[in-house]
Amino acid sequence: MGTWDDGPFDNDTAADWCGELHDADPSARAAMVRAALTTAALNTGYLDHVNAVSAIAAAAITASQMPGGDPITSSYAPDFMLAGESLDLDDDLPQLAVEALDRVLSDDSEWRSDWAEAGVSEFPQINKLRAVLSGPPELPGQIALF
């Protein structure tokens, strides 16, 4: 497996997953994002590298569709997103993406173990995605509008 940086698309597995997402029928893409997030979020055993990096890429795609999310600019991301297309994602996906990222960062994750072996213990890219996906913090006394 090749990893060249710490971005959500900066490894062979994520780039391959993004290629599959691009090649998929447009009507199936949102389900593919959901599947990648669900696979990681609901994993109760050892989370393997493939599922972890696919979830990170899916979380980055989800975050890019949200207010405050960074646009997709990596040449390893799905080409349709680089061309300015978007995905119609369900409202529950940001929370699912947070759960998937939390699982990726857990002690029982091959992705986390790989980075730990390389001496990395801080994950600013993941933390930034998680912050966007969680939405702005509620302020004391703030009234939720429904």
pLDDT in tens, 24-40: 999 999 999 999 999 99
| The predicted structure's pLDDT at residue 67 | 86
**CA distances for 126 relative to 26, 45, 105, 121, 141, angstroms:** 27, 21, 9, 12, 29
Residue 131, classified by CB atoms within 10 Å of its CB into exposed (0-12), middle (13-18) or buried (19+), is middle
| The predicted structure's pLDDT at residue 37 | 98
Which residue reads 């994993």 in tokens?
43
**Cross-strand pairs, 76:** none
Q: Which two tokens stand for residue 63?
A: 């975050």
The verdict on pTM exceeding 0.75 is yes
Residue 38, classified by CB atoms within 10 Å of its CB into exposed (0-12), middle (13-18) or buried (19+), is middle
Evaluated on CA atoms 39, 45, 49, 55, the torsion sign reads positive
**CA distances for 107 relative to 47, 58, 66, angstroms:** 9, 21, 28
| The predicted structure's pLDDT at residue 143 | 57
| The predicted structure's pLDDT at residue 3 | 84
The rounded average pLDDT for each run of 10 residues, N- to C-terminus, in the chain (146 residues) is: 84 96 97 98 96 98 92 94 92 97 96 92 92 78 54
| The predicted structure's pLDDT at residue 145 | 52
